């Protein structure tokens, strides 16, 4: 692809990021709020919009609807001079179309307006993850028009339901439509390639691992009765004690390979050798991002919902709580054994979602390509892997045996609390970060 890079770089009409801002604005304006049930608008309108954008440049796509309105898209692209049977296999590039809900009254701008203000594009999905969807579409459309189609086959995938665990999106594609993905051997997706600032040094983080997910429902049962009487089988008390133990438990530090590599890089910048004893101090170097980084050097379990009773003077038979549990690769047994001990007797556990963690070795041609492309656009930066505290569709696609990474390249200002914008109020992305990401992604497609 060196010929294409040379040709397109001298073609004044070729701009991989030329459409990225408007594409992102248009996607944000399509409300795809995912409430975790059947009450949202679904992703159909957004998937049809993406299909039309691809069709404009001659790329056919196929829509997959797991339930009415819950729509994912797959398109086959590239493969000039090779095909699905090539030894390298195809690269899966995936992004999700749904977003978490947003209450307009809490925002400075309407969350689905796609407003540009102060150099930022505002709106729900601006960082999670319609920014990457727009980068990918802008680059693919520009390259296709310029005849710069990658020699390696690429599968473009836009999914439904990622924000509720991917069960109606990526999981359905893997379980029921794997033939469209069978030729893929590697994948890139969200949450990685963004910059953070450590003592004035820009450090780009590539996701190479994710914690496992255990969304748990805890149930306590007891003896119903009048609220004025003594009751030593109170379900509410029993559940509250378990929830308090879980919520206040201090999980020990555990370093996985990705985090050992990242903290070694941070330690080098900070002038100290990284080790488990100073891991928490090194995490503090991330500033606002320490909330996320502190969660990936240990297992976590956060109570999030409580429900019991129907009248103040009635002791109920049953009380329930929900806990968002996340566990590190290699520490699954420790997590579940500890949760069981903290729950104690008389607490039943069931799972709303139970997904395994993953970790991909931080090496190989794809990692080298991501690193080179970031540093080509920002020679003063550094690149390192990290472990993601949340979950992405990679959990499902990994079941196909793919080497997976999070790579949504963004060069961010050092004073932006970026990780707080995920699912946060006033979600926004710098306009110049979108064009930076498109340029990096364009270079990356030359390298794959």
How does DSSP classify residue 37?
A: S
10 Å Cβ neighbour count for 179?
Answer: 7
User: One of 15, 128, 131, 162 is an active-site residue; which one?
Assistant: 162
Separation of alpha carbons 293 and 299, rounded Å: 12
Separation of alpha carbons 394 and 188, rounded Å: 8
Separation of alpha carbons 59 and 255, rounded Å: 44
Does the active-site annotation cover 162?
yes
Look at residues 361, 381, 392, 22 and name the one whose alpha carbon lies nearest to residue 192. Answer: 392
Cα radius of gyration (the chain): 23
Does the active-site annotation cover 56?
no
User: One of 98, 210, 393, 442 is an active-site residue; which one?
Assistant: 98
Residue 53 · residue 27 · CB < 8 Å: no
Separation of alpha carbons 354 and 140, rounded Å: 35
CA distances from 414 to 148, 193, 199 (A): 34, 15, 10
Look at residues 235, 203, 207, 202 and name the one whose alpha carbon lies nearest to residue 221. Answer: 235
How does DSSP classify residue 401?
A: T
Residue 58 · residue 123 · CB < 8 Å: no
Look at residues 79, 122, 119 and name the one whose alpha carbon lies nearest to residue 104. Answer: 122
DSSP reduced 3-state for 204:
strand
Residue 446 · residue 4 · CB < 8 Å: yes
Separation of alpha carbons 204 and 409, rounded Å: 8
Separation of alpha carbons 320 and 350, rounded Å: 11
Look up residue 298 and give its two tokens. Answer: 């240990």
Residues tagged active-site: 98, 162
């Amino acid at each position: 692809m060196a010929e294409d890079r040379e040709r397109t770089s001298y073609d004044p009409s070729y701009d991989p990021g030329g459409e990225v801002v408007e594409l992102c604005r248009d996607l944000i304006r399509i409300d795809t709020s995912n409430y975790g049930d059947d009450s949202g608008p679904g992703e159909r309108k957004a998937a049809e919009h993406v299909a039309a954008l691809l069709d404009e440049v001659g790329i056919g796509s196929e829509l997959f609807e797991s339930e009415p309105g819950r729509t994912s898209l797959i398109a086959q692209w590239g493969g000039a001079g090779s095909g699905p049977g090539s030894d390298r296999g195809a690269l899966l590039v995936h992004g999700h179309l749904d977003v978490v809900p947003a209450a307009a009254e809490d925002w400075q701008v309407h969350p689905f307006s796609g407003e540009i203000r102060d150099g930022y594009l505002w709106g729900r999905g601006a960082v999670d993850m319609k920014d990457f969807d727009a980068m990918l579409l802008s680059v693919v459309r520009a390259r296709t028009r310029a005849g710069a189609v990658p020699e390696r086959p690429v599968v473009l995938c836009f999914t439904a339901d990622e924000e509720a665990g991917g069960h109606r999106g990526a999981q359905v594609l893997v379980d029921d439509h794997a033939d469209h993905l069978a030729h893929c051997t590697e994948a890139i997706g969200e949450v990685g390639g963004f910059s953070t600032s450590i003592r004035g040094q820009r450090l780009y983080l590539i996701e190479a691992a994710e914690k496992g997910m255990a969304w748990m429902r805890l149930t306590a049962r007891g003896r119903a009765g009048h609220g004025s009487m003594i009751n030593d089988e109170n379900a509410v008390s029993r559940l509250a004690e378990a929830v308090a133990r879980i919520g206040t438990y201090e999980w020990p530090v555990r370093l996985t390979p990705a985090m050992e590599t990242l903290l070694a890089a941070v330690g080098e910048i900070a002038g100290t050798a990284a080790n488990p004893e100073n891991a928490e101090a090194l995490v503090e170097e991330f500033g606002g991002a320490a909330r996320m980084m502190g969660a990936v050097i240990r297992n976590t379990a956060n109570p999030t919902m409580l429900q019991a009773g129907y009248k103040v003077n009635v002791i109920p038979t049953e009380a329930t709580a929900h806990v968002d549990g996340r566990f590190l690769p290699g520490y699954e047994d420790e997590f579940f054994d500890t949760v069981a001990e903290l729950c104690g007797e008389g607490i039943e556990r069931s799972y709303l979602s139970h997904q395994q963690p993953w970790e991909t070795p931080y090496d190989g041609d794809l990692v080298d390509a991501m690193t080179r492309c970031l540093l080509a656009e920002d020679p003063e930066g550094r690149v390192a892997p990290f472990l993601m505290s949340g979950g992405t569709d990679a959990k499902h696609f990994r079941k196909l045996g793919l080497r997976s990474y999070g790579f949504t390249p963004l060069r961010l200002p050092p004073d932006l609390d970026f990780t707080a914008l995920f699912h946060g109020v006033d979600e926004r992305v710098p306009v110049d970060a979108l064009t930076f990401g498109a340029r990096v992604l364009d270079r990356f497609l030359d390298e794959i």
